[in-house]
Amino acid sequence: MQITHLDMQQAADILETGKEWTRFDGPGTSRTHVLTAIEGRDITLIVCGSTGEAMMVDECKYDQDAGGSVHDHARAVAEHGV
């Protein structure tokens, strides 16, 4: 998995172009969106309602090789040096 910080415009672009599966209202003004975006990959987007900035969690290039779990991913990163 990979975590990326997005500014307000990047988050808005993803929300506009992606297909949303569900949304959860978080504590305060945060919202969590689960959607398909970015070349058909499923992502989770956690948006701060105050700033519009977001954290995006999505797969990375080693997920399929490493089985997708956080532990397998850490092993793959250590092995491949990425």
Q: How many CA atoms lie within 13 A of 12 on its CB side?
A: 6
Q: Residue 54: its pLDDT value, please?
A: 93
* pTM of the entire predicted model: 0.66
pLDDT digits (tens, 9 = 90+) for 23-76: 888 777 788 888 887 777 788 888 998 899 999 988 766 555 545 555 556 667
Can you give the chain as a three-state secondary structure string?
A: CEEEEECHHHHHHHHHHCEEEEEEECCCCCEEEEEEECCCEEEEEEECCCCCCEEEEECCCCHHHHCCCHHHHHHHHHHHCC
Q: Which structure tokens are listed for 33?
A: 């969106």
Instruction: Quote the CA–CA distance of 26 and 15 in Å, as a whole number.
Output: 17
Q: Could you tell me which residues are beta bridge partners of residue 58?
A: 2, 43
**11 pLDDT band (50/70/90 cuts)?**
very high
Residue-range domain boundaries for the chain? 2-80
